[in-house]
Amino acid sequence: MKKLHREWFAGLVGGLILFSGPAYGETTELLVRYYEPQNTESQALKSAFFSGGDQALSLGLINSEEGLVKLSFDNAEEAEAAREKLLASGQVQSVTENNYYRPALYLHAVAPETAPSAIGGGLFPFPFPFPWTGGGSTAKPVSYPDVLNPPAVTPGRDPLASKDWALKNINLPKLSAMKFGNKELISAVIDTGVDYNHEDLSGAMWRKPGTKDEVGYDFAHNIAKPYDLRHFDIEGCLKDPGCKAGRGAGNFLTNPGHGTHVAGHMGALVNNSLGIYGLAAPVNTRLMALKFFYDAGERKAGQGDDAAAIKSIDYAIKNGAKVINASWGGRMSPSRAESSELKKALIRAQKAGVLIVIAAGNDAIDNDTDAEPGFPASYTLDNTIVVAATDPSDALGDFSNYGAKKVHIGAPGVKILSTTTGSQYSDIVAKFKDSKGEERVMAWDGTSMAAPIVAGAAALIWSKYPDEDYRQIRARILNTARKVPALAGKVSTGGVLDVSAALSAATPSL
C-alpha cells in the first residue's frame, strides 16, 4: 500500500496520467494448475473442493487441457490459506497470482501550441489512480452492438494518409509496387476490444469460419462481441470532487478507445476513399479482435488480467493467428513474472509458430536493469519483438522504456494518427479545459502506438514470404532496422523499423 501511494503521489507531482503501473493482482484471485486436465467446470469444482480450494467464492476454467483454473476468494487471508492447502495437497503443479495489466498508453496534458510535438508542457490537475484505487461495481457492461456486414467500398485515395507521419518514417514502399499472394493471414489484437463496425476496419475484420458475426471474443465478459467501449470523460472527472482528488477515476477515465486506435495501423483498409490505411492493408490480412479489459462501472474497470489474457492467446492460437499484438503491460519482479501463467501461454504461442509484438512500456525505465521491469515485454522469448516509441526526429520518446537486450526496435509512437471509435480518426485523445479554464490536449502517445506498426509490418512481410517461419520474419525486421544515433545502446538493433529493407532482404539463415 505504501508503494502504491508513493507512485500515485509521483503522478500528482509530474502531472501525468500513466496507463501503466505494477501488474500486481488482487490477492483474492489465484490461478491453480492441476496435474490432470480439467475438462468441465464440474470436474474443476470437484478438484478444487478436494484439494483445498473449497472456500472459493467462484471458479472459472482458463485452459482445460492445461488443467488451469481460476479461484476467487472473499479476502486475501482466505486466498493465502487456500494457497497453502492447495500446494500441500499434492494435486496441483503450481499456484500463482492473477496479475493485472494496463494499456501501454502514455497520456499527459499539454497546451494546444505544444500539441504537434506532444512532448513537455502543461500540468494535468489531478493524478490518475492506479487500478486498485478505482471504484465501480461488478455489473455487466452495456449491450454491445451487433457485428454488421462491411460497407461497400468506393475505390479512391485514403484522404488522411498524407497526414500520417508514421508511415512515412518507416520507409513503407508504394502500395502499387506490392505484389503478394492471396493466402489469408490473421493478426490478433489483444486489447480493449475493437470498434468492429468502424468504416475503415469492418472490411478488415476476421470472421470465424462457419459464422457471419464472430470477429473474435471478449474474455472479460465471456461474449462473442469484443467491442471497444470508449469511456473517457476528462471534464466530468474534473467536476467530480472524488475523481479530481484521485478517487474512482475508473468511473470517468476507463478507456479512450485504445484497441481501435491500435487496430488502425495493423489493418485499416487501403484505397477505399476513407481515412488512413494500415500496413497490412494491401494484403489479405484479417484482424481478430480479442478483448480482455474490463469496462466502466465494473470493479476491474480499465484493467485486464492474466486469466482473460491467457484465454485470448489460446483462442488466437486455436483459430490460426500468425501475429499477435500486445500493447499493454505492467511492472513486477522477474521472479514473479517467471512463475506467471502468462509466460506459459506465450510459450504455447511460440510452439505454435506465432509471432508476438509487445509494447516496451511507458515508465522511462531500463527494462534490462530495473528491479521491476515491464512485462510481458521483459520475457526473453524468440517469438517476441519488443518495441520502443520514437518521435518524428527518430528520438526515443521521453516516456518510453528501453533496454539494450530486452527491447529490440523503435517505431513511431508520438502523436500517432489512427482509427478511433465511432468511425473517426485522430492523433488527439481528448481536448478539454482544465480546472482553471485553460485549453489542454492529450495526444495518442505510447509504446502502445509503436507496437502495432511493427505488428502490421510483420503481417505484410509474412504475406510476401508465407513459407518462412516466425524466426525468419522476426530476423527480417530486426536485421534491417534503420540505425539512428538516439537508439544506440537503447534497443538491441540500435534502430527503427524499415519496412522496405525488411521486404527486400535475403532470406535469413537461422
Annotated catalytic residues are: 191, 258, 448
Q: Do 266 and 289 contact (CB within 8 A), yes or no?
A: no
Alpha-helix runs per DSSP H in 121-180: 165-169
H or E stretch at 466? none
Q: Is 485 helix (H, G, I), strand (E, B) or coil?
A: helix
CA gap 197, 219 in Å, rounded: 19
User: What is the spatial distance between Cα 358 and Cα 450, in angstroms, rounded to a whole number?
Assistant: 9
For β-strands 105-108 and 231-232, DSSP reports them as unpaired
Amino acid symbol at 69 = V
Q: What length is written for the chain?
A: 510
Q: How far is CA 45 from CA 31, 38, 95, 310, in A?
A: 14, 9, 16, 20
Measured CA to CA, the distance from residue 247 to residue 241 in angstroms comes to 9
- Taking each helix axis from N to C terminus, what angle separates 447-464 and 470-479, rounded to the nearest 10 degrees? 120
Q: CA-CA distance, 325 to 44, in Å (whole number)?
A: 31
Q: Is the peptide bond before 376 cis (omega within 30 degrees of 0)?
A: yes
What the block records as the C-alpha cell of 47 is 478438484
- Residue 137 · residue 298 · CB < 8 Å: yes
Measured distance CA(481)–CA(259) in Å, rounded: 26
b/e burial code for range 208-218 (CB count within 10 A of at least 16 → b) = beeeeebbbbb
